[in-house]
Amino acid sequence: MLKVTFCAYDSPGHIGGPVVWIGRLLPALRRRGIEARCLFLTWGDIGPTVMALRKQGFDCPAVPSQPYIEERVKWILERLRENPPDVFVPHNVVPGFFAARWARAANIPTVGVFHSDDNHHRGLKHQFVCGDSDFHLSALVCVSRKLEEDILVEQPQHTIVRRIPCGAPVLPMRVQGPVCGLRLVYVGRLVEEPKRISEVARAFCRVIREVPGIEAVLYGDGDATSSVEKIFATEGKGLPVRLAGKVDSQQIQERLLECDVIVLLSDYEGLPIALMEGMACGCVPVCLRIRSGIPELVEDGVTGLLVNDRGDSFVTAIRRLQTEPGLWERLSFAARAKIEAEYSNEACAIQWADLLQSLHKAAGLRRALKIPRRLKLPKAHPAIAVEAPEPPTPSPVYLRLYRRSRMAAGKMRRRLFGSAFNRGHGA
């Protein structure tokens, strides 16, 4: 049985596409005869993904993220050494990317995953695709075509590049369609970057005021929760718009089945899982026209509607869905068919299984994984430095005192052991 070890982040209240993806991929791989485990770096206590996977019988070692990058890398390497996998998937975890260098030295293929079109992933590209060849990965999976194109333009020589979407469950049920009006929904993190959630909240209030028969709900949590609450309490006062809080990933599609239109107006994305979940239910997507992820899911007028801004263009799109006969029905069926044909959980798991099997077959005989006492890590790119903190540089005074103490200790050892050596040889 093929053994694969993943890495991921988790913590109480932690939400987002990457951890949702991990929670769904591991069971799908198990159904294909692949034994998967996941190493979790956490902030504080363990989060919902660790608990959900452990309940399903998956081995999920977890540790609070240590202060410095070398400690984090060593913890991952120790877990790999105690239970060596056939393939190591550091996923999007920066210490895992660094640890992959020693996994590859043991002939364990390594796979990174690019989820988003942001500075963090551009930093990963600079460091592990364009940087020191010792730290290149065996393979890199990009969840969208645009992310794949951005990697291929660098012409990586020794890294296999694949596009494998995250995927979404396709339930047997689908949205029944509007009865008295359209029900809009947003699902995701309540943050300003990249989601622009305050502008989304204002856009919901405006469209409800200007287009009769519209109601809206936001599901999620995040740093901007209080901002959304204030907007709904002022601009949305008396309107059918509400903030419904966080919903477990296993239950979100039940909520989506109660809606008609899923809205995503982010500045940038990778391949948004919440959008695919909504489309799989038959919700019509209305999204901002951006360069990554959205264009391959939403073809304007075919599988959804693309808008140019969060103001007039957005209101016009919702008004069209409300007033044009047959438009919602046609887009709803096409959106669901798109996910079912190309982006289902099962279709994506098959692609992952094929990649993992091919990497294992091409790898040489596995060697013992050796962990140096002192890891020599390159300086982290600024875009990922927050996940690779280095210990503070000792002051010159401290270094001088340290060196003097080492020299004094050395002289003392030579006196003691030198005298003992001479006595033992009859000097």
Q: What is the pLDDT of residue 345?
A: 93
CA distance 218 to 225: 10
Give CA–CA dist 24/8, Å, rounded: 13
CA–CA dist 89, 84 (Å, integer): 12
Tell me, what's the pLDDT at 421? 41
Distance (Å, rounded) from C-alpha 214 to C-alpha 200? 15
pLDDT of residue 425: 44
Backbone phi, then psi, for 199, in 5-degree steps? -70, -35
pLDDT of residue 399: 53
CA distance 277 to 258: 13
Q: What is the pLDDT of residue 427?
A: 41
pLDDT for res 394: 60
Q: How far, rounded to the nearest angstrom, does the alpha carbon of residue 236 sit from its chain's CA centroid?
A: 32
| Euclidean distance between CA atoms 52 and 134, whole angstroms | 35
Fold entry, domain 182-343 = Rossmann fold (3.40.50)
Report in angstroms the alpha-carbon separations of 161 from 76, 137, 144, 156, 291. Answer: 24, 10, 12, 8, 20
What pTM, to 2 d.p., does this model score?
A: 0.87
**How large is the angle between the packed helices 327-342 and 273-281, nearest 10 degrees?**
120
Contact partners, residue 264, CB within 8 Å, separation at least 6:
186, 188, 272, 274, 275, 285, 286, 287, 288, 294
Residue 352 vs residues 52, 183, 202, 356: alpha-carbon distances, Å: 21, 35, 40, 6
For the packed helices 119-128 and 145-152, what is the interaxial angle rounded to 10 degrees? 30
Distance CA 318, CA 312 (A): 10
* Residue 328, helix vs strand vs coil: helix
Q: What is the CATH number of domain 2-167+346-387?
A: 3.40.50.2000
CA–CA gap between residue 424 and residue 179 (Å, rounded): 99
| Integer Cα distance of 307 and 290 in angstroms | 9
Q: Cβ contacts of residue 114 below 8 Å, gap of 6+? A: 92, 121, 124, 125, 140, 141, 142, 143, 147, 151, 270
Q: What is the pLDDT along the chain (427 residues), one digit of tens a residue?
A: 999 999 999 988 777 788 899 999 999 999 999 999 999 999 888 888 999 999 999 999 999 988 999 999 999 999 999 999 999 999 999 999 999 999 999 999 999 999 999 999 999 999 999 999 999 999 999 999 999 999 999 999 889 999 999 999 999 999 998 888 999 999 999 999 999 999 999 999 999 999 999 999 999 999 999 999 999 999 999 999 999 998 888 889 999 999 999 999 999 999 999 999 999 999 999 999 998 889 999 999 999 999 999 999 999 999 999 999 999 999 999 999 999 999 999 999 999 999 999 999 999 899 999 999 999 999 999 999 999 999 886 656 555 665 677 777 777 777 766 654 454 444 4
Q: Select from 178, 174, 130, 180 the least CA-distant residue to 279.
A: 174
